[in-house]
Amino acid sequence: MIRPMILLAAASVLCATAAAQSGSPRIFNTVKQKLAAGKQVVGGTVSIPDPDTYCAMANSGFDFMWIEMQHSPLTYQDVAHMVGACKGAPAMPFIRVPDATEGDIQKATDLGAVGIIIPMVDDLQKVQNAIKFAKYPPLGKRSQGGGQYGALWGSDYRQIANDNIMIVAMIESPAGVAIADELASMPGVDVVFVASTDLSSFSGKKQGDPEYEKLVTKVHDATLKAKKVLAGPLAWKATRTGYTFFQGPGETSLIRTGAKLALGGAPVGETKRGVAPTEGAEK
């Protein structure tokens, strides 16, 4: 009997051959595939430098892993070990980098990330830098370096990386909202993310407040007008239209919820349906 791994390898070769013959690039980023098909995607958030925890999350049904490097002590070595330990996991590795610097983005892409999440976008240059450093020439200036990307995604990675890597721009402040139209229409930006609690923090308005909702609506309309993917917190999945990309809970939240259920209790829910919990306020 032919083993499943042999069948999988054969299928991959056939898909790559078919793509080459058709002239279209091989798209291995399943998040990009699902979004192109009109589906919604949800990512679980990972902040703990533990490959076993990462693999449990990456194989649990999430579409991608939101690897949190802006607000965690994770190092790129930690993340490389985590992603490398789970080669073949269904969830695609997306990294929220600390900043859109050449070093941050080069390390993230070299270790195999297929999504680069850019925080605190309040000027266009920041996103232009991210695109430039994430893409190989002629689209960008990503250098040809070492890394585990080839082991993860195939020997043809250099030829298809630009078609698979996605750029997610996070709007977290009124200053970011002010450039939403230009940001959403920028070539190379795939996803525009409304950072719900930070937008509240920077604007001084809570979710549901008319002034807050006016900011959210502007990003919503600009993103959909530009035919880009609109993103937000998982709490908005069933309550707001137009959103197809969501950040889900982190490991500690899921462990706490699982423990409560295992002990016969009820999980801690949202204080109000459709309102995203405040990050950092978990107890």
84: tokens are: 């490398």
pLDDT number for residue 276: 73
Label residues 113-128 b or e (16+ Cβ within 10 Å = b): bbbbbbbbbbeeebbe
* pTM of the entire predicted model: 0.88
Q: Where are the domains of the chain?
A: 25-167+240-262
Whether the bond into 138 is cis, omega within 30 of 0:
yes
Q: Give CA torsion, residues 62, 65, 70, 75, to 10 deg.
A: 140
pLDDT at 124 over 50: yes
Q: Which class is 25-167+240-262 in CATH? A: alpha beta
Q: What's the CA gap between 139 and 189, in Å, rounded?
A: 13
The tens digit of pLDDT for each residue in 45-78 reads 999 999 999 999 999 999 999 999 999 999 999 9
Q: What's the CA gap between 71 and 59, in Å, rounded?
A: 23
